[in-house]
Chain A
Amino acid sequence: MKNIILFFLATVSFTVAFAQQKIKPVFNSYTAAGIQIGQSEPSATAETINGIKYRNWFAGAGVAYSAYKYRSLPIFFDARYSFGKKKQFFISGDIGYNMNIKTNYEEDMFYYNVKYKGGMYLNSGLGCLLQPTKKHSFYVQLNYGIKQERKIAKEFIWIDFPPYNRSNENYYTYKYDLKTVEVKLGFRF
């Protein structure tokens, strides 16, 4: 986890440094869809990342859709570094916030009040451009991601034993770190 954060910070530093050398940046967009595999049911994911590319470096911002366990929209910063003879390989790192987008699940039917909150989003991966050209190319990517979810569920239970006529507030707090491996196919331009 720490390595991913360090990697991200290093990437941002490089990007800023190159920007100061008056070298013209190039706009790049990465859009991909794929599958997330983890302990829970496999699910679909999609993302789009837009940013600036300079030589081997790219930095941008993205938004993703993740249906893994709890539906969410991670919003994040992305940095990636290309390498190889044709610069066809790249490694990437994302850091951001996992924004929850659904709040009613069947599993919560026995609670009377459930609130979902998002949490940190981290993702790193290795990618490969397929038949790369300067302008565009398809790519495949293998990622490892963690998204955090928080759920606070209050329960309302009528209990007919003493002391009567009291109100309790019982609640559960769930803290999830949902870890997945993602295989994505994307298009870069």
Chain B
Amino acid sequence: MKKTLLKTISLFFVAAVLVLQQGCIKDSCHKTYTYTYFVPVYKTSAEVRANIKSNAPKAVTNPGKIYIKGNYIFLNEVDKGIHVIDNTNPAAPKNIAFIDLPGNVDIAVKNDILYADFYMDLVAIDISNPLNAKVVKFVPAVFPERVYYGFNIDSTKVICDWVKKTETVNYDCENDSMAAFSGGGVLANAMDAGLSKSSAGTPVGISGSLARFALVNDYMYSVSSDSLRIINVTAAANPVTASTMNLGWGIETIFPFKDKLFLGSSSGMFIYSMQDPVHPVKEGTFTHVRTCDPVIADDNIAYVTLHSGSGCAGFSNQLDVLNITNIQSPQLIKSYPLTNPRGLSKDGDMLFVCDGNDGLKIFNAVDPVNISLLQQFILPAANDVIAFNHIALVIAKDGLYQFDYTNTRNVKLISKISTQ
């Protein structure tokens, strides 16, 4: 009986080996890669320049940075232009015009002149009549980092749009060369905006905390990822590059307060003195883990939000409150954990923080050691906020919101311009 048993088991193993040798057990794997890419649409430079003016209003689709000047909101449509919104009545804002400006992501306003990037160039636009905005000057090659290598086919053509295309590639998993092509991946929406505050009656407007442009007196400061450019705007309609400073790497935002510039970088916050406005001098540094970090400040306190994701390294998501009484040595007072904080703004004791998909959070910041949540509005991908004159403008994925915080205990949504 034992022999029979052994024979049977041996027979099965022999059969198994035979099957294995026939190659019947080769796994098959079929791989499909669906990817999206963008194809540039070109126009002639002359055609594009001729169209940089107030045109018919367009729907907001991909809102970028916001800027307030007087009764107007200038809302960047990323890489396409600027929406002009009459905000005389914040409860009923009117989208009145669109300035076509391909390659635009940053804006700032002094007097009646709006400064905007136009890919590498700086353009000054007269907005004394926002319904009839017109170019007064082009300053070429101010932002050399904005050149789109590989896309600028010649100097007479300008990219004015991108067409999204989707393709699917099929192949066997063994032929995995497509994996190396996966760089054409996802870009998180990095809608930007920031805050440098001044009253509506002063020559310059108000930007959000994610801004890369800052206007201080007769100079406009512009940061790229590694440099600070100072542009003389003494004659508002005639901007002239005054100087350029190398800052290192990872600069993200700029916030002016009094005679100081607060630069947010992926590795920390830098404070520069503007006593010599053409040659700012670094006075203080606060280093944090590598991540994205807009910054705002008042007399003694700086507020820095750190967030992860979307090209930001690190995993920190928090609000850092810093004591900057001693500019040379900022000290961390306290960190507050948040979900995915972005832009922020402060008015009086109220601190407004855009916390990603947790929306807008409004804090009582009278005591930096004990900042407490007053109210929260859930908004999709809240990105930046400007709180000024009892109105908080918030950019979220689905539009531009305005909140009335006249009653600090009962902040109310008063209007929204939705994206389409």
A173 on interface, CB distance cutoff 8 Å: yes
Per DSSP, are chain A's interface residues mostly helix, strand or loop, or mixed? strand
Inter-chain contact B187/A176, CB cutoff 8 Å: no
B window 328-380: CB within 8 A of A: none
Inter-chain contact B24/A144, CB cutoff 8 Å: yes
Q: Which of A126, A144, A164, A175 contacts B187 (CB 8 A)?
A: A164
Closest Cβ of chain B to A124, distance in Å, is 11
- One of A10-18, A32-40, A56-64, A71-79 at the interface: A32-40
Residue numbers in A under 8 Å from B188 (CB-CB): 156, 158, 167
In this complex, which of A131, A142, A165 has the most chain B Cβ atoms within 10 angstroms of its Cβ? A165
Inter-chain contact A159/B185, CB cutoff 8 Å: yes
Inter-chain contact B29/A174, CB cutoff 8 Å: yes
What mask results when residues 69 to 100 of chain A are scored 1 for a CB within 8 Å of chain B, else 0?
A: 10000000000000000000000000000000
In this complex, which of B31, B64, B189 has the most chain A Cβ atoms within 10 angstroms of its Cβ? B31
B27 on interface, CB distance cutoff 8 Å: yes
A189 on interface, CB distance cutoff 8 Å: no
Q: In the bound complex, how far is the Cα of B8 from the Cα of A128, in angstroms?
A: 7
B242 on interface, CB distance cutoff 8 Å: no
Inter-chain contact A170/B27, CB cutoff 8 Å: no
How many residues of A are in contact with the other chain, CB < 8 A? 42
- One of A21-29, A45-53, A114-122, A179-187 at the interface: A179-187
Q: Which of A37, A130, A160, A175 contacts B29 (CB 8 A)?
A: A175
Q: In the bound complex, how far is the Cα of B359 from the Cα of A189, in angstroms?
A: 62
Closest Cβ of chain B to A166, distance in Å, is 5
Inter-chain contact A179/B26, CB cutoff 8 Å: yes
Residue numbers in A under 8 Å from B190 (CB-CB): 164-165
Closest to B190 in A: A165
Closest Cβ of chain B to A183, distance in Å, is 6
Q: What are 27 residue pairs bridging A and B, where the CB atoms are less than 8 Å apart in the complex?
A: A37-B25, A38-B25, A126-B15, A131-B5, A140-B8, A140-B9, A140-B12, A154-B186, A157-B183, A157-B184, A157-B185, A158-B310, A159-B184, A165-B191, A167-B187, A167-B189, A168-B36, A170-B184, A170-B186, A176-B27, A177-B27, A179-B24, A179-B26, A179-B27, A179-B28, A180-B25, A183-B16
Chain A contacts to B: CB under 8 angstroms = 37-40, 69, 126, 128, 130-131, 140-142, 144, 154-181, 183
